[in-house]
Structure 1
Amino acid sequence: MLYCDFSIFTKDQEHLISIKGLEYLEGSVMMDYTPANNWRSSFFPPAHESQISSLLKKHGIVYCLDLAKYYDDETITSVDKEVELLQEGKTKPMLISSIEMSAVTPDEDIFYCVVLLHSGSFSDEQYLDNQKNEILEFCDRAGIKMKQYLPHYKSKEDWIKHFGSKWNSFRENFFHAV
């Protein structure tokens, strides 16, 4: 699903997250100045590339939601009904989580995951690493709470900050597993 309006994009994304009916939902941004073929996706047939390029030229930025609803032979008959309910907004939120999880997510009910993926080569590694560090430092100075996906911390204090309120749970689970 493509959007030119950020507020509609986020509203739809938050709605789809809240109904807990999808196995996969990812929001992304496509920009007109990104390298050729960088925004191409297996979700878009080649026949639609000119339409997408036209949207990018017109708006400069397009927001995209990629989503998936998985099914197998046993659930194939219910998939159409579930998708229909999702579209009509007739599902109820449900949260299933394990106390044993060590995933790090913010304590807030709604949070945004921002992923910055850059095309580059080995010669760009230092530049991209410096850019990443500048972004992390900016977030820290601005008081923007954030978590790194694959962090590399050198001190216990950094790990405690990373896990936040989940530190004790992680520590107990980690040492139980060892």
Structure 2
Amino acid sequence: MINPLLSRTKTDEVIGTGTIAIEIIKKSAYTDQKLTDLNAELEKNINKLSLAQNRKRKNDETDIVWSNEEARDNDFKVFKYVSLSLKYRPDKTLADKGRKIYEIIERHGTTLYNLPHKEQTAKMKSLFEELSHPNNVSTMDGTELPELLNAMIASNQKFLDSLQSRSKSDSEKEEIENVAETKKSTKVALEQLVNY
């Protein structure tokens, strides 16, 4: 009876049910060796299943990394297009500011977002350093560019942080069995315990 029930349960439910069974048996006064062995086997499987489930969830970090990269690319595009639009303002002062800043962007690349992320990161770092030079900061004064530059720097840092976080979790990972396989062995261990 338990097998049809478990075949439709979610992984978190299997982990929860198994954990409850383990705790009940640990708190009981039974000293039966077979029961102890079955409980130990179930606990081992629950731990493996929890690790596999956590590993599966960590893969969701990849989506976060790429959405942060997209935000970084969009902030770069906004900065680029606003500086380009300044070049065409009727106010000569604003047009000169836009031209100077856009020339800096052109030196570093107007399509940085098409580069592999390591190369893009290096070029953006160089761009940020040049744009942060006091002469260029004063050139951007009186425009919306300083705010856009800060937003671009922040989104770049957010991308780098999420990339580093994902890399760290990848390097710490253990060799974990497939969630489905581990869930199956956990169900077998739980069924053996219940049938005993």
- The bucket for the TM-score relative to the shorter chain is under 0.3
Mark the structure with the bigger radius of gyration.
2
Larger RCO, structures 1/2 (Cα 8 Å, 6+ apart): 2
Q: In proportion to residue count, which structure has more helix?
A: 2
Give me the TM-score of the superposition, normalised by structure 2.
Answer: 0.17
